[in-house]
Amino acid sequence: MKQPIRVLQWGLGAMGGGIARLMLDKPGLAIVAAVDGRPEFAGQDLGEVLGIGKHLGLAVTDKPATVLDGEKVDIVTLATTSWAQHQMPDLRGIFGAAINCISIAEELADPEAQNPELAAEIDALAKQNGVSVLGTGVNPGFVLDSLVVTLTGGCHSVERIEASRVNDLSPYGPTVMKTQGVGTTPEAFWAGVEDGSIVGHVGFPESIHMISEALGLDVDRIEQTREPIITKVHRETPHVTAEPGMVAGCSHVGIGFHGDTEVVRLIHPQQIHPHLEDQDTGDYIHIHGRPEVHMEIKPEIAGGETTMGIAVNMIPHVVAASPGLKRMIDLPAPAALMG
């Protein structure tokens, strides 16, 4: 008889909670443990924390060591942070217990892009313990990298890639508003970019490195620019307000060069309520080569739902993978997990 894959959900915030709710609908997956650092979640039933109106008979813990057991857990789905270094202590615990892992940390999508030593350490630790680890999500992980690579699948040659994701930030919470500079003055925006408190999108080096590696474009330099999107009209979300003349978002561009030649350009303007200034949202991928490929998806692929979906849909691929650090370009293409 087939046994379900046993999953430990680690991180029960906006994304981790959604990943857990989605897994409850998948007969091939069984949530066997749940971890979150929030003291108010500790000891509560997972069903209560997820707000699904029923008990699951599974208490959330803030002590991961009590549930990290490779005999009882096949994979951890980790939704806690964006940063690879911050995730290392948790990854060490997961690998040490001989458990596979999928993380939605943006920097885990391709840690080699910014920190080759750390990537080598993660790969070696995973291999020593016979497990595999993947970083994924909507972006990085899908729209501006693995989807781009997939679209080149029939190309004879590729000279240059330009892809953009124009999305609406309105559903996101206060952390995202701060890191995108929404609701600040243009002066405060530039000061935030300077001191690193306004970062825009996290993931361009990872996406550009993945595209370059998959296609052999030999990107040897990545440049990034961040500019404020100034609103002409009043815009408001539950967490932030931008009056005319203030910042409604961040237009972030990442460019990959081979020598002096631009080979990859990724464009990601993110703002609250773009429709108030007649800005449509969408994902656009242009592959310049032979043959040319031009893809347009309007509106954009939904960010939160897709992050939850891809994290869940990749579970069987990661459990079946050979040990080590994997990227989306190293594993079979994702597909909706329906059975």
Q: Which residues bind ligand NAD (CB under 6 A)?
A: 11-16, 35-38, 79-82, 90, 104, 106, 137-141, 307
Nearer of residues 37 and 43 to ligand NAD, judged by Cβ: 37
Specify the residue, 158 or 312, whose C-beta has the smaller distance to ligand NAD: 312
For residue 291, the tally of other CB atoms under 10 A from its CB is 9
Q: Which residue has the tokens 């701060």?
A: 178
Fill in the DSSP letter of residue 4.
P
CB burial string 123-137: b at 16+ within 10 A, e below: bebbeebebbbbbbb
- Closer residue to ligand NAD (CB): 78 or 337: 78
Beta strands in 201-246 (DSSP E): 221-230, 235-236, 241-242
**Shortest distance, CB of residue 87 to ligand NAD, whole angstroms?**
8
Burial class (CB in 10 A: 0-12, 13-18, 19+), 154: exposed
Nearer of residues 31 and 138 to ligand NAD, judged by Cβ: 138
Structure tokens at 252: 């972030």
Min dist CB 160 to ligand NAD, Å, is 24
Closest approach, Cβ 157 to ligand NAD, in A, equals 29
Least distance between ligand NAD and beta carbon 141 (Å): 5
Residue 258: Cβ within 10 Å count: 14
Phi, psi of 97 (to 5 degrees): -90, 10
Which residue lies nearer to ligand NAD by CB, 16 or 274? Answer: 16
Smallest distance from ligand NAD to CB 156, Å: 31
Residue 134: CB minimum distance to ligand NAD, A: 11
CB closer to ligand NAD, 76 vs 125: 76
Are residues 60 and 49 in contact, defined by beta-carbon separation less than 8 angstroms? yes
Buried/exposed code over 230-255 (b: 16+ C-beta within 10 A; e: otherwise): bbeeebebebbebeeebbbbbbbbbb
Task: Tell me the closest approach of the beta carbon of residue 280 to ligand NAD, in angstroms.
Answer: 22
Which C-beta is closer to ligand NAD: that of 231 or that of 306? 306
Counted residue by residue, the chain has a size of 339
